[in-house]
Amino acid sequence: MTKPSATAQARPPPPATSPATAPSLLTTFFARPLPLYLSAAIFRLIFLLYGLWQDANSPVKYTDIDYLVFTDAARFVSHGQSPYDRETYRYTPVLAWLLLPTAHITGNRLLDSALFSSGKILFALADLAAGWLLEKVLSRSMAPPQARKFATIWLLNPMVATISTRGSSEGLLGVLVMALLWAVLEKRITLAGLLLGFSVHFKIYPFIYAPAIIWWMDNSKFPPSQPPPSKRSPSLPTKILAFLTPARLNLTLTSLTTFSLLNTSMYLLYGTPFLQQTYLHHISRLDHRHNFSPYHTQLYLSSSPSVSPSLLLPIEKIAFLPQLLLSTLLIPLILAKKSLPTCLLAQTFSFVTFNKVCTSQYFLWYLILLPLYLPRSSFFRCPKFGFLALGLWVLAQAAWLQQGFELEFLGRSTFLPGLWMTGLGFFGVNCWILGVVVSDVRGRGSE
Amino acid sequence: MRERITFVQKEGDSIEPTALKVDASALSGPDVKAVREDRLTLALDELPNELKALLEGVSQLHIRWVDRGEHEAVSPLLARLPPGFHLFYTPGSDTSINPCPLLTRVFGLNSCSSPAESFTTLPTDRFTHSTTHQFYQPLPSLSSFINFAKSHLCPSDSPKSCSPRLSSLHRASHLDISYDTISHTLRVTSLWPYSSHSLSATLLSPSIRTEIGIISTASPKTLEAHEIAISGLLTVLGQSNHPSPTLFTFPSRHRSAAPVSFTSQFLSPTGLHPVLQLSITSPTPPIKSPNPDSCRLHAYFTLPKTVFPDRHQLSDPLFLASKNLSALRYITPGIDLEAPEYVTNTWGSSLLLELSPPLKGGEWTAQVPLHLRYLSPSVTGYRSAEVPYPAVFWACEAEEGTRFPVNPFEKDKVGYDGLFGERTVFWHLDPTTTAGDGVLVNGVKVPVLNLEKAGWVNVGTAVVVGLGFLWVVFKLLGVGFAGGRKVDGEEKKKRQ
């Protein structure tokens, strides 16, 4: 169910910029990894325990409805059934397998409660691992304490901690994507291929990273063992052959093989429901309960039998065009070789912004990449500008959420103009931010 | 063909046999305050060909139509169902037979296309006596049925009373049509609400055995707790010219929990997640029940597809307790929790909840959380959805060994009876309305997309998305060109 959370959640402001002259508390905090990771872990533990308390004492649940879907599916699996026996389970069976411990019952209440929460613990640990990889990637271009400062945006972010401890699996994507980026930058191509294939199997959208990574892997990063024979105007077939470097072929083959093997085995195990729920559903889905997407109102209008389709431009049928043109072609082509991390951020941002469905959980997809871009961004160079962008992003969302609240809870017909306009407003702000992100790559050499 | 006409008076009311005039073809007498029930039993061969062909292919077909008005029930005709058109159906060996086209024509339905698309399946593993499929739709009036029946069942040579008697169905509160392969007969039962009726009945045709009863419940000393006693006058037209007094008892599964009643209304504001509140006048189980400790209060809902319950939400004990509910006893499986109403084919869902009354006290409430589907856009920005009142009853276990053979006034196949064991007795709470409109239906205003304001949506969305796209492309090109000409050179110099 795509039901955007009713509370506005925002990115935290970038950490203070002033370099400390004397070793302040803050400097000590970031000097070594332990304080940051320990506090990130404690932070999540508090959220987790609070959630357990709220679930046990309040009819309003802390736990995300999706977590109940995952754990129900895990229970089906533990009984030898298909996870797709659970309605609305729209994920890879791997997720249900990962959560198998949640289906285990010992009879001891405390132990059972811990076992049931083991999925949330896994998601929270994935958060920490993603933060750690984030630090490793950042450390390639800055000192570790500085890298940890930026990793804080992810590690101590209440939105991230809430989402994973409520039991949403988006945190797993964070660690997968960050591991993929790290492996690529470390030139561990086979590992990268495995991660890419697995991520796409897991959540489809990381396929947008494939063209960027492939394009980035040119001779400057992977010098050929033999220098090219002739430099003067090579013919087209020669160019194509030159493009097909061993590294590129390796990545393509590893990722495709991983993806196909996983899908074939899942299909053999669970048959058509696997294909239908995990992949085909996303093509045919008609659930357009209000969400942040600019297409929401259009989708509602065009799906309804009371509107003659001939009167409408079939925007929703070509909505994938701007989305895929930007996220899989134009952005990779222009940004990948200049800055791969920023390219991935811009791709994800455009994919989410131009998507036909957009809920606040999707923001996590780009939030993990944000700390990689921020240090050299104009938002960070000029904090006023940064806060302006953050403020607009929050405000545009808040305006939409206010309209959504009136619809959802007060029953006022705010579809038009309220939800439509605020949805488009939020889209506009996102496009503007995306423009700034893209422009910030200007003048950068390859990284 | 057989006909049975019964006037059911309230307990204690009766009529002197001498007040009735009986001859070979008619009975007449003074006006009485009563519920009138007419029951026609027809053999398959007596039916129009189309109907006969359909019924030959089905195993069970039970139609239960209930008027939406607030009507007082009189014992023993106490079974309650949410108002509307209910169908309980079991196909025969040929499952391709589709009763929908005929039902649609006869009753003026609008959401019955085929069993596979429109019906929901019922659990047959629990108790063998339930049918396999269910269908429901709100149906405020029988006028379509009456018109169809007049043109198909009242041929030119039919008695003069045929058409007026069908017309009188406009005032009926219930219409039941039952067929099953075991009896091979079609039973049509109609009920008119408690009011003043003229005591008159005429033989439809000399070949039709017509039995007329004027009865009321009695309380003989020998009556057992699970039984109902009936006393009154019975006459078989043409067989005797005077009514014979009668008294008989039978076990009954449907009883009245009067004076306890309930009302149902949506809490305001309804939003997209309306909460239906049941207000019940008393929390105590029916005192007349032989073992009140076994009694559990239940509410049985038939929810049209515009609204749906969420089984996962209704499975959390804490959440249920906060709404004065104890347990989700049954919910139609496979309810889509996302799809808009206009792409949903099944009729809706049925829901059986066990309520959690306080231990003592007076009037109390229970809340049932529901969710609205997206409805199709309208020119006002709103549409209305209607949810019929549930049937609310105490389900009590009769003593071990008690049997409930079908009694002459039994109404079975009412949906919830298939979800309980055969020894369960249903003590019904009377539904009452608060709005004063006397309609046992709760309306809810559903916000939808306002078509009047939708003129710019299509073009506006296209323009904004297009501009956003072009803006990003423009920025990208800026980077692309800068990178292509200058920056590379600068970078190279720096590296050197």
pLDDT at position A108 is 84
Judged by CB atoms closer than 8 Å, whether chains meet at A408 and B457 is answered as no
Rg (alpha carbons) of chain B, rounded to whole number:
29
Judged by CB atoms closer than 8 Å, whether chains meet at A412 and B487 is answered as no
- As for the ipTM of the complex, it is 0.87
Residue B396's H or E segment, with its range, is: strand B391-397
Judged by CB atoms closer than 8 Å, whether chains meet at A439 and B478 is answered as yes
Judged by CB atoms closer than 8 Å, whether chains meet at A88 and B318 is answered as no
Determine what percent of chain A is predicted with pLDDT higher than 90.
52
- In order of B7, B29, B57, B229, B438, the CA distances from B218 in angstroms are 15, 22, 42, 5, 30
User: Residue B445 corresponds to which tokens in the numbers above?
Assistant: 């205003």
- Residues in A closer than 8 angstroms to B458, CB to CB, are 298, 301, 311-313, 315
pLDDT, tens digit, 9 for 90 and up, residues A93-106: 999 999 999 988 88
Residue B401 neighbours by CB distance under 10 Å: 6
Strand, coil or helix: A445 = coil
Assigned CATH class of B255-447: mainly beta
Judged by CB atoms closer than 8 Å, whether chains meet at A408 and B273 is answered as yes
Rg (alpha carbons) of chain A, rounded to whole number:
23
Strand, coil or helix: B425 = strand
Whole-structure pTM value = 0.86
- Residues in A closer than 8 angstroms to B272, CB to CB, are 407-409, 411
For A310, nearest residue in chain B (alpha carbons): B458
Across the A:B interface, residue pairs with CB atoms under 8 Å apart total 193
- Residues in B closer than 8 angstroms to A306, CB to CB, are 376-378, 451
pLDDT band per the 50, 70, 90 thresholds, residue B118: very high
- The interface residues of chain A toward chain B in range 61-100, judged by CB-CB distance below 8 A, are 61, 65, 68, 87-88
d(CA A321, CA A298) in angstroms, rounded, equals 16
d(CA A291, CA B278) in angstroms, rounded, equals 32
pLDDT band per the 50, 70, 90 thresholds, residue A230: low
Residue A237 neighbours by CB distance under 10 Å: 8
For A351, nearest residue in chain B (alpha carbons): B469
Q: Shortest CB distance from B338 goes to which of A55, A287, A331?
A: A287
User: In sequence order, which residues have a C-beta less than 8 Å from that of residue B402 and are 6 or more positions away?
Assistant: B226, B251, B423
Q: Shortest CB distance from B464 goes to which of A65, A319, A428?
A: A428
pLDDT, tens digit, 9 for 90 and up, residues B316-354: 888 899 999 999 999 998 888 888 999 889 999 999 999
| pLDDT surpassing 50 at residue B226 | yes
Please report, to the nearest 10 degrees, the dihedral formed by the alpha carbons of residues B485, B488, B489, B495 taken in order: 170
Determine what percent of chain A is predicted with pLDDT higher than 70.
89
Q: Name residue B444's beta-bridge partners.
A: B385
d(CA A101, CA A111) in angstroms, rounded, equals 11
Judged by CB atoms closer than 8 Å, whether chains meet at A305 and B342 is answered as yes
- The interface residues of chain A toward chain B in range 144-203, judged by CB-CB distance below 8 A, are none
For B493, nearest residue in chain A (alpha carbons): A445
Q: What are the residue ranges spanned by the domains of chain B?
A: 2-251, 255-447, 458-484
pLDDT, tens digit, 9 for 90 and up, residues A149-162: 999 999 999 999 99
Residue A349 near residue A218 (C-beta atoms within 8 A): no
B427: region left, alpha or beta (phi > 0 left; psi from -120 to 50 alpha): beta
Average pLDDT over residues B132-151: 93
Determine what percent of chain B is predicted with pLDDT higher than 70.
95
pLDDT band per the 50, 70, 90 thresholds, residue B151: confident
DSSP at B415: S
pLDDT, tens digit, 9 for 90 and up, residues B238-281: 888 888 999 989 988 999 988 999 999 999 889 899 999 999 99
Judged by CB atoms closer than 8 Å, whether chains meet at B483 and A297 is answered as no
- In order of A58, A87, A284, A305, the CA distances from A309 in angstroms are 46, 31, 17, 9
Judged by CB atoms closer than 8 Å, whether chains meet at B461 and A297 is answered as yes
- Residues in A closer than 8 angstroms to B451, CB to CB, are 306-307
Strand-strand pairing, B348-355 and B325-331 = antiparallel
Average pLDDT over residues B1-8: 92
- The interface residues of chain A toward chain B in range 119-138, judged by CB-CB distance below 8 A, are none
Residue B247 neighbours by CB distance under 10 Å: 11
User: In sequence order, which residues have a C-beta less than 8 Å from that of residue B63 and are 6 or more positions away?
Assistant: B85, B86, B87, B103, B107, B175, B176, B177, B178
Average pLDDT over residues B274-295: 88
Judged by CB atoms closer than 8 Å, whether chains meet at A409 and B271 is answered as yes
DSSP at A69: H
- In order of B120, B311, B376, B419, the CA distances from B331 in angstroms are 11, 7, 26, 11
Judged by CB atoms closer than 8 Å, whether chains meet at A445 and B478 is answered as no
pLDDT band per the 50, 70, 90 thresholds, residue B483: low
Mutate: best of B459, B479, B496, partner A, most A CBs <10 A: B479
Judged by CB atoms closer than 8 Å, whether chains meet at A313 and B491 is answered as no
